[in-house]
Structure 1
Amino acid sequence: MKKIIILLGLLTAFSSCNDYIEEESLSYVPADETYKTASGFQLLVNSNYATLKNIYGGNPWLFCSGTDMYAEGRTPEPAGLAEYSLLIPSSTNVQELYLSCYQAIQSVNKTIYYSTITEQNANIPALVGEAKYIRANAYFLLVQTYGGVPIVDENITSTILSFDRNTAEEVYDHIIKDLNESLATVGTASYATSGKVNKRAVQDLLAKVYLTRGYETFGSPSDFTEAAKYADLAIAGQALTIPFADLFKATTTSNNDLNAETIFSVQYSQASTSTDPTKLGSSQFYFFGPYLGGSETNGAPLRSYNLCATGYTLSLYEKGDTRWNATFMTEIFEYKRPSDGKVVLYTPYYDTTIPTANLKIRHFYEPKWFTAADKAAYLSTNASRLATGFVYHPWGEYTAEHTLIDNRDCYTIPVKKFDDPSPTTPISAPITTDGITSGVSTRDIILARLSETYLIAAEAYLKAGNPATGLARLNEVRKRAGVANATAAQFNIDYILDERGRELVGEYKRWFDLKRTGTLITRASTYNYKIKANNFDGANGEKKILRPIPQLVLDLNQNKNFPQNPAYN
């Protein structure tokens, strides 16, 4: 059955498996009766997790565009979100996060409603706690992105045409209430084993929420103290022992997404995308690099040529930092297949059946620390492995901004962390409605992992007035990366943002990091070649920090006293 509701001014259709909220029982039992059974209620809880795929699985513009770390390559990004000067309430992609978060909230509201009338068992409190975590996460994304938004806790079953806007302070209070209630009931099983929200995941999110609220005008110093406390509870004494290269390691048959340091993620599988493998799944692997030539020419995976690493991002690494080679495809290999003589680019890197001697180097991206002697040594050592047409990319000539000079295929460095070499992953797909050619992956999108929790603790302790402990937390991350400890003289918010940059390339954090720390304008205008400081100038002397409330929300809401964010009035 199909149910149409107007939720917060957005026309939202809950229909078909593509929306991940399916109200039609395959046995033709009405949904109300299904959810009153233990098995039916579990399906309803599962649908909450599925809504995360709507939030995170598509284009990552609202998470990464318009920042210091990523900038437009050869392919245009949405101008409003990428450059700010054209950002208006009707801009492309502004409403995507608003819509998907409220879909998640409505799913959770339904779960909580049925939890009191379904068949009761000992698992119900934990399942409700998992749902409240997902609702808290959705509201956290909303309040950071748009400011105050309507708080809706009831299970909506009929058309509602008018909503009021709550303050950001009220939304934060609601988030923390949800998370405290979640913490009291969710389980403790390891995430790698259960794949479900546990106490550690809740503690990690509480740390992030308190840290972010601490920067707000209504925040208080105690928020930073609470953030540090919950970050340490989430860390739980666990050291960073997995080599960085293994955290995202993937082969043609497996990946390491559910490792011991993963705290929470959006999970995918081949089974979950089998009904539409070119559309369902994660798009994370598709961004953060150049176009590589594509399957139609050399079998390389399709890439968007969007969100390319800026010179700032690439300059963050020093000699010996293991994250450099683990994050970027510093050498692109080619291989001539004996079966048909076709030269295949990029993907042979992952094929362990190919003898190393048969791999040729087509592209090499020189790191910042290379000297003339290093270059000569590299070319001499690898002389027999250099492919016909080999390209040596000097330092500074493969950044996002360098595409203004040279934007050929492979002329910016690819991020390889999210590569999915599984032969079942589509490496090409049709042009989508937004004009972007895209593919999808069954790699998980990792939302929380241990090293980031260390960095959250570092920032929280610094802001709480305990920099020594904060520095110790940050240096645990650097220790694993194989680089020298940061010093007390270096330790400040800018250094933390640099360290987060080194550690979290391509993960969906950066816009929120800059917005939280009040550095968005300065850093984006300094390091992103598409952005000037005055791009942020909005109406009424306000800056375009918050994104605008989507125009569709305002148009469909019959409460005309629902205010737009001041910079867009």
Structure 2
Amino acid sequence: MQSYRKIFWMVTGLLMAMVSCSDEDFLEENRKDALTTENAFLTKSQFESLLGSMYRKVQNFYNAGDGDTDAWPLGLGTDAMFYPRDDSKIFNDWTQLNSFDGYSSRWYTWQYEIINYANTVIDAAQKEGVKWNSEEERDAIIAEGKFFRAFAYRNLTNIFGGVPILDAPVVAPKVDYTRNTREECWQFAKDDLVYASNHLPITASLPGKVTRAAADHLLAEINIALKDWDGAIAASTRVIDGSDGDYQLMTGRFGSRADEPGKNIYWDLFRMGNQNYDTGNKEAIWVAQMEFNVPGGTVNFGRPTIERMMWCLHWNFQKAGYSGQAQDSTGRGVAFVRPTTHTNYTVWQGAESDLRNTEASIKRKYYFADDVAPYSKGDIIPKSFLTTKEDSLLFIYPNWSKFGTDKHLDGRPDNGYVRDYYVMRLPETYLLRAEAHLGNNRPDLAAEDINVIRNRAQAPLVDPADVDIDYILDERIRELFGEEFRLLTLGRLGKIYDRTKQFGYETAQNSIKEHNNLFPIPQSVIDRNVGAKMEQNPGY
């Protein structure tokens, strides 16, 4: 994605220049050509530049830190994954989650930055003097702004509960915000998404741009949060049945490495270059763009860090004969995040032929790199060889192929896996509709939607009698682990505590409390709001 300048700050900031001049006329103010919010956005291209700042924020969700910081919305510390290096780390030890936590406060700030950008777009697009080619063009820009505003409120409301609703640009200091209710925030997001669904284009003008299908996908989730089951079914159906464009699950091998034997369609979905709709991936609804060797293409570090974050350190397992030198074929995982036992094993009980659980999709077999008596080079490393805690927490655990590759760009294992990130993929739309059908007391229809996904995966089909919300959450792990914002899903359902207590890492199980179903409002937000009381969530 192109590197966009943050025009918003240029527009709303104060530009000052210190000059020296013998003529005191320079002290006279002439604002005829001054850049303001009234004249900065007069053409579509100017609006596109500001919209680009919002897309860049989404890049940050996936590429902001070289560690575990990008993982926490994906479910760090819950039923899905944990930090294996230190039991005292936040989200292993949930008692450390407080109003001073930097992870969630950064998330809070990011969302309000998006909201501020979005409000500027929505407001400026409706002013006189903007050169639009048509009303449809104007409405599509407004719809894009409203989509992002709704997206940000969903990202806030699902984990913090009710937050202040801002429906216009902030142009003067304000320190008396109050929290709206959670339902009011979801309803506000819903209203924006209804507009976006009606006015966004069906086809993206550029890879990574949001479309009508993205709006309906998110609208389905918000309707579920509001228990509008029929509305959720209708929105998700528009994505699934072709009303929003030709979206369908990929069922045959495709893409850049489709001719390689021993792999499968699920593996193909995560090969570099295979993520975008315009290159043939018809289940890609919205994809965050990452580019190799393009300024701003990966936001930080010159590459996404997902392989380092999610893969184990087997290349450095010197006890098993490894040299400690990462190779193109091994990648350079650093084990910042490890899937839980539930994710790696429990959800796969009875999986049989499920393509998502094959060795191609989840590498479970590791081999001795040299002779280590009584084993020989090339022998499978047995579980009995893993005798220390670090052996199985850092060096050897299942590596999900969706997070890395054995053929890196330029052969560089440290920064040669640069793929785009699915923000929304069609299987999740099916699972949202299944959730809505379940809420509507139709487990038979919920099973039908789940089985579309399981049929593609060549997995045993589920019986309607076995479908409940926990089954859907497990299917989300099988299909969407490391893609969905797991914490937001569990937060929306009020199940952060329940699922972590039942399936999380032992330290997290022992430390999480029921009040952790909502995260604390950042203390910095409360302290700055001196004109009114910003209520904190209970328990913090």
Using the alignment, how far apart are the partners of 1:157 and 1:403 within structure 2? 58
Matched, 1:121 2:133: yes
Alignment map for 1:241-390 (pairs within 5 Å): 241-243=250-252, 244-250=265-271, 254-258=273-277, 259-270=281-292, 272-273=294-295, 279=301, 282-293=304-315, 297-299=325-327, 300-315=330-345, 316-317=347-348, 318-325=351-358, 326-331=360-365, 362=368, 388=377, 390=379
For 1:37, the equivalent position in structure 2 comes to 43
Using the alignment, how far apart are the partners of 1:543 and 1:453 within structure 2? 29
Q: Is the 8 A contact 1:64 1:509 kept in 2?
A: yes
Distance 1:240 1:276, change over 3 A: closer
Distance 1:511 1:409, change over 3 A: closer
Per the alignment, in what secondary structure is the counterpart of residue 303 of structure 1?
A: coil
Q: Deviations over 1:22-81 (max 9, x none)?
A: 6389xx9946544223322222222232221233433121331121121222x2388333
Distance 1:44 1:522, change over 3 A: closer
Paired residue type of 2:531: N
Q: Deviations over 1:257-312 (max 9, x none)?
A: 44110111211223544688752554333322312447972334333313211221
Q: Deviations over 1:6-30 (max 9, x none)?
A: xxxxxxxxxx9687866389xx994
Distance 1:277 1:563, change over 3 A: closer
Out of 145, 161, 168, the position equivalent to 1:147 is 161
Out of 530, 535, 557, the position equivalent to 2:529 is 557
Paired residue type of 2:450: L
CA shift for structure 1 position 498? 1.5
For 2:518, the equivalent position in structure 1 comes to 546
Distance 1:409 1:496, change over 3 A: closer
CA shift for structure 1 position 415? 1.9
Q: Deviations over 1:139-180 (max 9, x none)?
A: 001001111111112222343333221111111111011101
Paired residue type of 2:73: L
CA shift for structure 1 position 524? 1.1
Distance 1:323 1:552, change over 3 A: same
For 2:231, the equivalent position in structure 1 comes to 226
Q: Is the 8 A contact 1:248 1:257 kept in 2?
A: no
Paired residue type of 1:255: N
For 2:225, the equivalent position in structure 1 comes to 212
Q: Is the 8 A contact 1:66 1:531 kept in 2?
A: no
Using the alignment, how far apart are the partners of 1:255 and 1:275 within structure 2? 17
Out of 506, 511, 519, the position equivalent to 1:530 is 506
Q: Is the 8 A contact 1:284 1:418 kept in 2?
A: yes
Using the alignment, how far apart are the partners of 2:86 and 2:512 within structure 1? 19
CA shift for structure 1 position 207? 0.6
Deviates more, 1:198-207 or 1:507-516: 507-516
Alignment map for 1:15-26 (pairs within 5 Å): 23=10
Alignment map for 1:69-80 (pairs within 5 Å): 69-73=80-84, 75-76=85-86, 79-80=89-90
Using the alignment, how far apart are the partners of 2:138 and 2:305 within structure 1? 33
CA shift for structure 1 position 472? 0.6
CA shift for structure 1 position 101? 0.7
The structure in which a higher percent of residues are strand is 1
Per the alignment, in what secondary structure is the counterpart of residue 108 of structure 2?
A: helix
CA shift for structure 1 position 480? 0.5
Paired residue type of 1:170: E
CA shift for structure 1 position 408? 7.2
Using the alignment, how far apart are the partners of 1:510 and 1:100 within structure 2? 18
Per the alignment, in what secondary structure is the counterpart of residue 80 of structure 1?
A: coil
Distance 1:416 1:519, change over 3 A: same
Using the alignment, how far apart are the partners of 1:140 and 1:450 within structure 2? 19
For 1:3, the equivalent position in structure 2 comes to none
Matched, 1:138 2:152: yes
Alignment map for 1:184-199 (pairs within 5 Å): 184-189=198-203, 191=204, 195-199=208-212
Matched, 1:418 2:392: no
Q: Is the 8 A contact 2:275 2:420 kept in 1?
A: no
Distance 1:296 1:490, change over 3 A: same
Q: Which segments of 5 or more consecutive residues in structure 1 lack a partner in the other structure?
A: 1-15, 215-222, 333-360, 364-385, 429-438
Paired residue type of 1:301: G
The alignment yields a C-alpha RMSD, in angstroms, of 3.2
Using the alignment, how far apart are the partners of 2:422 and 2:266 within structure 1? 15
Distance 1:63 1:94, change over 3 A: same
Q: Is the 8 A contact 1:292 1:301 kept in 2?
A: no
Q: Is the 8 A contact 1:45 1:131 kept in 2?
A: yes
CA shift for structure 1 position 246? 4.9
Distance 1:321 1:104, change over 3 A: same
Q: Is the 8 A contact 2:311 2:337 kept in 1?
A: yes
Q: Deviations over 1:445-474 (max 9, x none)?
A: 211111111111111101111111111111
Paired residue type of 2:525: V
Distance 1:296 1:30, change over 3 A: farther
For 1:156, the equivalent position in structure 2 comes to 170
Per the alignment, in what secondary structure is the counterpart of residue 516 of structure 2?
A: coil
Alignment map for 1:44-55 (pairs within 5 Å): 44-55=50-61
Using the alignment, how far apart are the partners of 1:208 and 1:247 within structure 2? 27
Q: Is the 8 A contact 2:77 2:505 kept in 1?
A: no
Matched, 1:81 2:115: no
Per the alignment, in what secondary structure is the counterpart of residue 286 of structure 1?
A: helix
Matched, 1:236 2:241: yes
Paired residue type of 1:311: T
Using the alignment, how far apart are the partners of 2:489 and 2:143 within structure 1? 27
CA shift for structure 1 position 488? 2.2
Using the alignment, how far apart are the partners of 2:439 and 2:298 within structure 1? 47
Out of 165, 170, 180, the position equivalent to 2:179 is 165
Using the alignment, how far apart are the partners of 1:20 and 1:142 within structure 2? 24
Per the alignment, in what secondary structure is the counterpart of residue 429 of structure 2?
A: helix
Using the alignment, how far apart are the partners of 1:518 and 1:274 within structure 2? 37
Q: Is the 8 A contact 1:536 1:545 kept in 2?
A: no
